[in-house]
Amino acid sequence: MLSLTLGLFAALAWGIHDICVRYVSQRGGVLPALASVLAAGFLFQLPVILWLGDWSVMTSKAYGLSALSGMCYVFGCIGLYKAFAIGPVRLVAPIMGAYPILSIGWAAVSGQPVPWDQWLAVGLVILGVAIVGVLSDRSESGGAQSVAIGWAVMGATGFALTFAIGQLATQSGDELPVVLATRLVTALGVIALLILSGGPRLPARSAWPLLALMGVLDATALGIVIASGGLDRPEFAAVAASIFGMVTIILAWAFLKERMTPGQWAGVAVTFAGIGYLAL
């Protein structure tokens, strides 16, 4: 199924992005890094979407939903960065990876029939992500665990709403302008929060190339999931994209030589069994 395939590409992009977050988060605040990533992604998308987007079919409803999707993404991104800054991974990763429950629930509420076996497959995806996350880090939290849980819940809810509302916006307009409008609102929202928190602060110049790469990866992944709104079963793109945390761990094993336990590999197998069933 195309929506699942695109979701896997989004997960790969976000997985690489999150490896970069490990480096960036240790060298600056969350808001300056996030604002830079979002701005870079917007500039990357701008010329392509201005050229290829069908702006004539955009309606006021599409713009309004895009703006709402962008505001939800602000909360999702901040929740993600804050939760992983506090940690530990074994606590916050399963919560962040559980947002497909909300995505599938939204589809059911919107009138899209969701058979019991698809709920079971989504549960397998979430279970696999949880297994990998729980076994990934034995360190203690850098702060109160209840605070980390709160940020993780905020992030998961923000992502679920972003994808659901963004995909809904594509049904009232063209996918590419929706993606760009969503990105613009998100970038402006984080920049506004940065100014309110004490004024704009630029990350170290040495981090700019990495932040630009992160912006391209994030913009690509978010664009893929939102643009899937015009496909059959678009919620499956959000389900597949939810494995980004697991992808990060696998990439760290492959390229950074970090250890993967047999239990984690079992979690990977469970996750892809669920995704494989949804693709049938």
At residue 70, the pLDDT reads 96
Model confidence, pTM: 0.83
Q: What are phi and psi of 38, to 5 degrees?
A: -65, -40
At residue 253, the pLDDT reads 84
Least confident interval from 129-143, 191-205, 241-255: 129-143
Percent of the chain with pLDDT over 90: 36
Using only the alpha carbons of the chain, give its radius of gyration: 18
| For residues 114-122, average pLDDT | 85
DSSP character string of 110-147: TT----HHHHHHHHHHHHHHHHHHHTS--SPPSS-HHH
Please report how the helices 244-255 and 116-134 are oriented relative to each other, as an axis angle in degrees rounded to 10.
Answer: 40
HSE-up of residue 234 (Cα within 13 Å, Cβ side):
24
| For residues 53-60, average pLDDT | 93
**Mean pLDDT for all residues in the chain:** 85
Q: Which two tokens stand for residue 15?
A: 């997985």
Q: End-to-end alpha-carbon separation of the chain, Å?
A: 8
Supply angle C-alpha 11, 118, 105, rounded to 5.
75
Q: Distance (Å, rounded) from C-alpha 243 to C-alpha 78?
A: 19
Pick the most confident of 58-62, 97-101, 225-229.
58-62
| For residues 127-143, average pLDDT | 70
pLDDT band at 243 (very low <50, low <70, confident <90, very high): confident
pLDDT at 235 exceeding the cut of 80: yes
- SS3 helix, strand, coil % of the chain, rounded to 5? 80, 0, 20
| For residues 157-182, average pLDDT | 93
Higher per-residue pLDDT: 207 or 222: 222
pLDDT band at 256 (very low <50, low <70, confident <90, very high): confident
